[in-house]
Amino acid sequence: MTLFDSPAFEGHEGVHAFSDEKTGLKAIIAVHSTARGPAAGGCRMWPYASAEDALTDALKLSRAMSYKNAMADLELGGGKSVIIGDSRTQKTPALFEAFGRAVEDLGGKYWTAEDVGVSVADLTHARRHTRYVAGLEGHEAASGDPSPVTAEGVFRGVRLCVQRALKRDLSGVRVAIQGVGNVGGYLAQKLHAAGARLVLTDVNTEALSRLAAATGAEIVAPNAIFDADVDVFAPCALGGAISLDTLPRIRARIIAGGANNQLADADAGRELFNRGILYAPDYVINGGGIINVAGEIRALERGEAFDPAWVDAKLDRLALTLEEVLEQALVERRPTHEVANEIARARIVGAAEKRAAA
Ligand code: NAD
């Protein structure tokens, strides 16, 4: 298969491969779309089995960022970068400096930030060679850790889904959270404060016990979370939680959580719909983190300080967009993720047409 025939290619504007023998850098920066503005999306470091695997991942992730940024109403396109390597053993400051030079080579078409395997410290090295880095700390425009903002967006989304599907507020609503790391942990605290009753799981039992004690939650084993007798299931661990295998076990009427790529495949999305489960599309409900990063990009570009009020207004707007998706899906009797994809594509195409006409 050639690059252009890959199912993940889907109209990418640019795919850039970088190597640097001295530092061992092997990186791909995929720019799906700059129709709405410069492409923005994190950098992932992963020991991919082959360059082809790395390329496919970069393409899928960058397209997903176009959709996520469009649904978050950001003046940003979608892009993503991957560095081939083991983040536990192969990181050096020089490697990330070389990555920074690669980002700089694209002249501002792509803004990077953290993703799996890449930390604030790594990006600080990249920043020495490019200004197109966000998600940092310690300067006036810096946005810091995005996960509390992601959790706030997910919290507002869960509240909206409960209002629509169960016609009640969060008090007494039973919520199962799969994965109580950064996003799931903050989400649990917010739901607890709103009166929800929680069932939690994680493979990291230490953090889990502490959080359960603080929120009065029930703990279940990782595999038992799918069987929990709850109103809402909130996937906040890794992708693929919703599959044809897990769906028959899920008793919740609502699925709304922070994880990326929650649907294992398109069949799972269809089956969700057939079962009458209200699903908040993942890349819509979890857009809070990129909104926070966008706040930093905006501040850097304007030479201003980071503005939390701008972020909060965008979060309000994100909840309205989620409501628009849920309403349209209800009226047209279609799966919510299909409606979301359609709206995202229309927003991207609309921006491209506006730009071409200008
Ligand atoms: P994290 O690593 O802090 O938390 C993930 C948690 O899931 C960890 O505690 C891990 O032990 C647990 N986990 C892993 N496998 C599990 C399993 N099989 N069963 C139960 N628990 C399991 O990551 P995070 O930043 O909280 O991100 C969580 C999800 O949200 C990811 O899918 C991420 O891509 C997505 N996301 C995060 C942000 C953000 O701002 N951090 C933004 C958008 C989307």
Per-residue pLDDT reduced to its tens digit, 135-149 = 988 899 999 889 999
**DSSP codes, 179-223:** --SHHHHHHHHHHHHTT-EEEEE-S-HHHHHHHHHHHT-EE--GG
pLDDT digits 0-9 by tens, 155-200:
999 999 999 999 999 999 999 999 999 999 999 999 999 999 999 9
Domains and CATH numbers, the chain: 3-68+77-126 (3.40.50.10860), 147-285+321-345 (3.40.50.720)
Q: Is residue 59 classed as helix, strand or coil in its secondary structure?
A: helix
Cα of 340 vs centre of ligand 1, distance in Å, is 23
Question: How far is residue 125's CA from residue 144's CA, in Å, rounded to a whole number?
Answer: 16
Distance 202 CA to ligand 1 centre (A): 10
**Phi, psi (rounded to 5 degrees) for 267:** -60, -40
Cross-strand pairs, 26:
19
Ligand 1, atom 34, residue with closest C-alpha = 260
> Which sequence positions are flagged as catalytic?
80
Q: How many CB atoms lie within 10 A of CB 320?
A: 11
Minimal CA–CA distance to 80: which of 260, 299, 223? Answer: 260
Q: What is the distance in A from the centroid of ligand 1 to the CA of 129?
A: 30
**What's the confidence (pLDDT) of residue 355?**
85
- Tell me if 108 CB under 6 Å of ligand 1: no
Burial of residue 71 (CB within 10 Å: 0-12, 13-18, 19+) is: buried
Task: Locate the ligand 1 atom nearest the alpha carbon of residue 201 and give its number.
Answer: 20
Segments in the chain below pLDDT 50: none
> Closest residue (by CA) to atom 25 of ligand 1?
182
Q: Model pTM? A: 0.94
pLDDT of residue 191: 98
Is the shortest distance between the CB of 143 and ligand 1 below 6 Å? no
Please indicate whether residue 286, judged by its CB atom, sits closer than 6 Å to ligand 1: yes
Pair of tokens at residue 236 = 């906040």
Give me the pLDDT at residue 1, please.
62
Q: Which of 131, 99, 112 is nearest to 62 (CA)?
A: 112
pLDDT at 266: 86
Name which residue sits closest to atom 14 of ligand 1, judged by CA. Answer: 237
The gap between the terminal CA atoms of the chain, to the nearest Å, is 37
Asked if 81 and 27 touch (Cβ cutoff 8 Å), the reply is yes
Instruction: Determine the pLDDT at residue 107.
Output: 97
Cβ of 240 closer than 6 Å to ligand 1, yes or no, is no
Residue 315 has a pLDDT of 97
Q: Are 45 and 116 in contact (CB under 8 A)?
A: yes
